[in-house]
Amino acid sequence: MSKAPTHLPKHVAIIMDGNGRWAKKRHLPREAGHYAGMGAVRETVRAACDMGLENLTLFAFSSENWKRPKTEVGALMALFRVYFRSDMDELVERNVRMRIIGHRGRVAGDIHQMILDSESRTAQNTGMNLTFAFDYGGQEEIVAATRELARAAAEGRLDPETITPELFAQRLFTNALPEPDLVIRTSGEHRLSNFLLWQSAYAELLFVDTLWPDFGRDALQKAIESFAARERRFGAVNSEAVA
Protein backbone atom coordinates (compact mmCIF):
# COMPACT_ATOMS: atom_id res chain seq x y z
CA MET A 1 0.00 0.00 0.00
CA SER A 2 1.37 3.40 -0.92
CA LYS A 3 1.45 6.05 1.79
CA ALA A 4 -1.41 8.53 2.06
CA PRO A 5 -0.64 11.88 0.42
CA THR A 6 -0.10 14.70 2.88
CA HIS A 7 -1.90 17.50 1.14
CA LEU A 8 -4.88 16.47 -0.94
CA PRO A 9 -6.27 18.89 -3.48
CA LYS A 10 -10.00 19.46 -3.11
CA HIS A 11 -10.72 18.93 -6.76
CA VAL A 12 -8.65 17.10 -9.35
CA ALA A 13 -9.67 17.42 -12.99
CA ILE A 14 -8.06 15.28 -15.69
CA ILE A 15 -7.83 15.67 -19.46
CA MET A 16 -7.58 12.00 -20.38
CA ASP A 17 -5.51 12.13 -23.56
CA GLY A 18 -3.37 9.69 -25.52
CA ASN A 19 -5.61 6.69 -26.14
CA GLY A 20 -5.00 6.80 -29.89
CA ARG A 21 -1.22 6.98 -29.53
CA TRP A 22 -1.26 4.15 -26.98
CA ALA A 23 -3.05 1.96 -29.54
CA LYS A 24 -0.82 3.07 -32.42
CA LYS A 25 2.28 2.03 -30.50
CA ARG A 26 0.79 -1.46 -30.28
CA HIS A 27 -0.40 -1.54 -33.92
CA LEU A 28 -3.98 -1.65 -32.68
CA PRO A 29 -6.99 0.37 -33.86
CA ARG A 30 -7.70 3.61 -31.98
CA GLU A 31 -10.80 2.00 -30.48
CA ALA A 32 -8.56 -0.46 -28.61
CA GLY A 33 -6.90 2.54 -26.99
CA HIS A 34 -10.25 3.89 -25.87
CA TYR A 35 -11.15 0.50 -24.42
CA ALA A 36 -7.87 0.43 -22.48
CA GLY A 37 -8.61 4.01 -21.41
CA MET A 38 -11.78 2.79 -19.74
CA GLY A 39 -9.64 0.53 -17.58
CA ALA A 40 -7.57 3.55 -16.55
CA VAL A 41 -10.76 5.42 -15.63
CA ARG A 42 -11.76 2.53 -13.38
CA GLU A 43 -8.39 2.35 -11.65
CA THR A 44 -8.14 6.12 -11.23
CA VAL A 45 -11.65 6.39 -9.77
CA ARG A 46 -10.95 3.57 -7.32
CA ALA A 47 -7.66 5.16 -6.28
CA ALA A 48 -9.26 8.58 -5.85
CA CYS A 49 -11.98 7.09 -3.64
CA ASP A 50 -9.44 5.17 -1.57
CA MET A 51 -7.40 8.35 -1.04
CA GLY A 52 -10.44 10.25 0.16
CA LEU A 53 -10.43 12.76 -2.69
CA GLU A 54 -13.64 14.83 -2.59
CA ASN A 55 -13.97 15.81 -6.24
CA LEU A 56 -12.72 14.15 -9.40
CA THR A 57 -13.67 15.43 -12.86
CA LEU A 58 -12.74 13.51 -16.00
CA PHE A 59 -12.81 14.93 -19.54
CA ALA A 60 -14.29 12.09 -21.56
CA PHE A 61 -15.56 13.71 -24.77
CA SER A 62 -15.22 17.29 -25.95
CA SER A 63 -17.70 19.31 -27.97
CA GLU A 64 -15.03 19.23 -30.71
CA ASN A 65 -14.64 15.44 -30.64
CA TRP A 66 -17.73 15.14 -32.87
CA LYS A 67 -15.32 16.08 -35.68
CA ARG A 68 -13.73 12.63 -35.45
CA PRO A 69 -14.61 9.86 -37.93
CA LYS A 70 -18.11 8.45 -37.42
CA THR A 71 -16.78 5.00 -36.55
CA GLU A 72 -14.57 6.38 -33.77
CA VAL A 73 -17.37 8.52 -32.34
CA GLY A 74 -19.64 5.45 -32.48
CA ALA A 75 -17.05 3.35 -30.66
CA LEU A 76 -16.66 6.00 -27.95
CA MET A 77 -20.44 6.19 -27.47
CA ALA A 78 -20.60 2.39 -27.26
CA LEU A 79 -17.93 2.48 -24.56
CA PHE A 80 -19.89 5.01 -22.51
CA ARG A 81 -22.85 2.64 -22.61
CA VAL A 82 -20.61 -0.20 -21.43
CA TYR A 83 -19.18 1.96 -18.65
CA PHE A 84 -22.57 3.09 -17.35
CA ARG A 85 -23.85 -0.50 -17.39
CA SER A 86 -20.84 -2.18 -15.87
CA ASP A 87 -19.60 0.35 -13.30
CA MET A 88 -22.68 1.96 -11.81
CA ASP A 89 -23.20 -0.69 -9.12
CA GLU A 90 -19.64 -0.31 -7.88
CA LEU A 91 -19.91 3.48 -7.89
CA VAL A 92 -23.14 3.31 -5.89
CA GLU A 93 -21.50 0.91 -3.46
CA ARG A 94 -18.56 3.29 -3.08
CA ASN A 95 -20.99 6.09 -2.19
CA VAL A 96 -19.89 8.09 -5.26
CA ARG A 97 -22.09 10.90 -6.52
CA MET A 98 -22.13 11.06 -10.32
CA ARG A 99 -22.61 14.15 -12.41
CA ILE A 100 -22.28 14.69 -16.13
CA ILE A 101 -21.46 18.15 -17.42
CA GLY A 102 -21.91 19.06 -21.05
CA HIS A 103 -24.41 19.81 -23.75
CA ARG A 104 -26.71 16.76 -23.28
CA GLY A 105 -28.99 17.60 -26.20
CA ARG A 106 -26.72 16.09 -28.87
CA VAL A 107 -26.18 12.57 -27.47
CA ALA A 108 -28.35 9.57 -28.33
CA GLY A 109 -31.57 9.22 -26.34
CA ASP A 110 -30.51 6.06 -24.51
CA ILE A 111 -27.24 7.66 -23.37
CA HIS A 112 -29.14 10.72 -22.23
CA GLN A 113 -31.38 8.44 -20.19
CA MET A 114 -28.35 6.65 -18.68
CA ILE A 115 -26.94 10.04 -17.67
CA LEU A 116 -30.17 10.98 -15.91
CA ASP A 117 -30.43 7.56 -14.24
CA SER A 118 -26.84 7.60 -13.00
CA GLU A 119 -27.32 11.08 -11.54
CA SER A 120 -30.60 10.30 -9.83
CA ARG A 121 -29.36 6.93 -8.56
CA THR A 122 -26.41 8.56 -6.83
CA ALA A 123 -27.98 11.91 -5.91
CA GLN A 124 -28.13 11.05 -2.20
CA ASN A 125 -24.58 9.69 -2.05
CA THR A 126 -22.22 11.59 0.19
CA GLY A 127 -18.81 10.26 -0.93
CA MET A 128 -16.66 11.48 -3.81
CA ASN A 129 -18.19 13.69 -6.49
CA LEU A 130 -17.32 12.03 -9.78
CA THR A 131 -18.04 14.29 -12.74
CA PHE A 132 -17.68 13.32 -16.38
CA ALA A 133 -17.27 16.14 -18.87
CA PHE A 134 -19.08 14.62 -21.81
CA ASP A 135 -19.90 16.56 -24.97
CA TYR A 136 -18.39 19.42 -22.96
CA GLY A 137 -16.80 22.63 -24.21
CA GLY A 138 -15.68 25.44 -21.93
CA GLN A 139 -16.46 28.24 -24.37
CA GLU A 140 -19.92 26.83 -25.01
CA GLU A 141 -20.51 26.66 -21.26
CA ILE A 142 -19.47 30.30 -20.78
CA VAL A 143 -21.61 31.46 -23.69
CA ALA A 144 -24.65 29.56 -22.34
CA ALA A 145 -24.22 31.20 -18.92
CA THR A 146 -23.85 34.62 -20.56
CA ARG A 147 -26.94 34.08 -22.67
CA GLU A 148 -28.95 33.16 -19.57
CA LEU A 149 -27.83 36.28 -17.70
CA ALA A 150 -28.41 38.50 -20.75
CA ARG A 151 -31.93 37.14 -21.09
CA ALA A 152 -32.67 37.79 -17.43
CA ALA A 153 -31.34 41.34 -17.79
CA ALA A 154 -33.33 41.97 -20.99
CA GLU A 155 -36.49 40.80 -19.25
CA GLY A 156 -35.82 43.08 -16.31
CA ARG A 157 -35.24 40.22 -13.83
CA LEU A 158 -31.57 41.06 -13.30
CA ASP A 159 -29.65 44.29 -12.77
CA PRO A 160 -26.42 43.94 -14.84
CA GLU A 161 -24.54 45.78 -12.08
CA THR A 162 -25.14 42.82 -9.75
CA ILE A 163 -23.27 40.37 -12.01
CA THR A 164 -20.19 39.18 -10.13
CA PRO A 165 -17.79 36.29 -10.78
CA GLU A 166 -19.64 34.32 -8.08
CA LEU A 167 -23.03 34.91 -9.71
CA PHE A 168 -21.59 33.98 -13.10
CA ALA A 169 -20.07 30.77 -11.72
CA GLN A 170 -23.50 29.75 -10.41
CA ARG A 171 -24.70 29.58 -14.04
CA LEU A 172 -21.97 27.12 -15.05
CA PHE A 173 -22.44 23.33 -15.16
CA THR A 174 -19.99 23.05 -12.28
CA ASN A 175 -22.01 25.24 -9.90
CA ALA A 176 -22.13 22.53 -7.24
CA LEU A 177 -18.38 21.91 -7.26
CA PRO A 178 -15.36 23.83 -5.97
CA GLU A 179 -12.95 25.08 -8.64
CA PRO A 180 -10.34 22.49 -9.61
CA ASP A 181 -7.06 23.10 -7.81
CA LEU A 182 -5.18 20.55 -9.90
CA VAL A 183 -5.70 19.98 -13.63
CA ILE A 184 -3.74 17.10 -15.08
CA ARG A 185 -3.29 16.40 -18.79
CA THR A 186 -1.77 13.15 -19.93
CA SER A 187 0.06 12.32 -23.17
CA GLY A 188 2.52 15.22 -23.23
CA GLU A 189 0.24 17.79 -24.87
CA HIS A 190 0.45 21.23 -23.27
CA ARG A 191 -3.00 22.70 -23.79
CA LEU A 192 -6.44 22.81 -22.20
CA SER A 193 -8.46 21.96 -25.34
CA ASN A 194 -11.48 23.94 -24.10
CA PHE A 195 -11.65 22.22 -20.69
CA LEU A 196 -12.94 24.10 -17.60
CA LEU A 197 -11.67 27.44 -18.92
CA TRP A 198 -13.36 29.63 -16.33
CA GLN A 199 -12.94 27.21 -13.44
CA SER A 200 -9.20 26.68 -13.97
CA ALA A 201 -8.29 30.34 -13.47
CA TYR A 202 -6.01 29.48 -10.54
CA ALA A 203 -5.62 25.73 -10.96
CA GLU A 204 -2.18 24.19 -10.82
CA LEU A 205 -1.54 22.61 -14.22
CA LEU A 206 0.34 19.35 -14.48
CA PHE A 207 1.32 17.90 -17.84
CA VAL A 208 2.56 14.34 -17.77
CA ASP A 209 3.91 12.25 -20.64
CA THR A 210 2.04 9.09 -19.60
CA LEU A 211 -0.56 8.07 -22.18
CA TRP A 212 -4.01 7.84 -20.58
CA PRO A 213 -4.37 4.01 -20.69
CA ASP A 214 -1.15 3.78 -18.64
CA PHE A 215 -2.43 6.21 -15.98
CA GLY A 216 -3.71 4.80 -12.70
CA ARG A 217 -3.20 4.63 -8.96
CA ASP A 218 0.54 5.33 -8.91
CA ALA A 219 0.35 8.14 -11.45
CA LEU A 220 -2.45 9.82 -9.49
CA GLN A 221 -0.48 9.52 -6.28
CA LYS A 222 2.59 11.07 -7.94
CA ALA A 223 0.50 13.90 -9.38
CA ILE A 224 -0.90 14.70 -5.96
CA GLU A 225 2.55 14.67 -4.41
CA SER A 226 3.73 17.11 -7.05
CA PHE A 227 0.73 19.34 -6.28
CA ALA A 228 1.53 19.25 -2.57
CA ALA A 229 5.02 20.62 -3.28
CA ARG A 230 3.76 23.65 -5.20
CA GLU A 231 3.42 27.12 -3.79
CA ARG A 232 0.12 28.78 -4.61
CA ARG A 233 -0.14 32.56 -4.37
CA PHE A 234 -3.43 33.62 -5.99
CA GLY A 235 -1.89 36.94 -6.96
CA ALA A 236 -0.66 37.76 -3.47
CA VAL A 237 2.84 37.32 -2.06
CA ASN A 238 3.77 34.42 0.16
CA SER A 239 3.93 34.90 3.91
CA GLU A 240 7.76 34.75 4.07
CA ALA A 241 8.03 37.59 1.56
CA VAL A 242 5.72 39.69 3.74
CA ALA A 243 7.61 39.00 6.99
Catalytic pick among 17, 87, 135, 181: 17
Q: In this complex, which beta carbon is closest to Mg ion, that of residue 34 or of residue 97?
A: 34
By CB under 6 A, residue 107 contacts ligand IPE? no
Residue 55 annotated as catalytic? no
Q: How far is the CB of 17 from Mg ion (least distance, A)?
A: 4
Q: Which of the residues 36 through 75 are near ligand IPE (CB under 6 A)?
A: 59-62, 65
Q: How far is the CB of 151 from ligand IPE (least distance, A)?
A: 30
By CB under 5 A, residue 87 contacts Mg ion? no
Q: How far is the CB of 136 from ligand IPE (least distance, A)?
A: 8
Residue 83 site contact among Mg ion, ligand IPE, none (CB < 5 to 8 Å, cut-off depends on kind): none
Q: How far is the CB of 21 from ligand IPE (least distance, A)?
A: 3
In this chain, which of 19, 131, 200, 210 binds ligand IPE, going by CB under 6 A? Answer: 19
Q: How far is the CB of 240 from ligand IPE (least distance, A)?
A: 38
Given a contact cutoff of 8 angstroms between Cβ atoms, the answer to whether 137 and 196 are in contact is: no
Q: In this complex, which beta carbon is closest to ligand IPE, that of residue 62 or of residue 122?
A: 62
CA 28 to CA 20: how far, in whole Å? 9
Number of residues in contact with Mg ion under rule CB under 5 A: 1
Given a contact cutoff of 8 angstroms between Cβ atoms, the answer to whether 202 and 232 are in contact is: yes
By CB under 6 A, residue 15 contacts ligand IPE? yes
Residue 17 annotated as catalytic? yes
Q: Which of the residues 4 through 23 are near Mg ion (CB under 5 A)?
A: 17
Per-residue H/E/C for the chain: CCCCCCCCCCEEEEECCCHHHHHHHCCCCHHHHHHHHHHHHHHHHHHHHHHCCCEEEEEEEECCHHHCCHHHHHHHHHHHHHHHHHHHHHHHHCCCEEEEECCCCCCCHHHHHHHHHHHHHHCCCCCCEEEEEEEECHHHHHHHHHHHHHHHHHCCCCCHHHCCHHHHHHCCCCCCCCCCCEEEECCCCCCCCCCCCCCCCCCEEEECCCCHHHCCHHHHHHHHHHHHCCCCCCCCCCHHHHC
Q: In this complex, which beta carbon is closest to ligand IPE, that of residue 15 or of residue 203?
A: 15
Give the interface with ligand IPE as residue ranges (CB under 6 A): 15-21, 59-62, 65, 76, 187, 189, 191, 193, 212
Q: Which residues are catalytic?
A: 17, 65
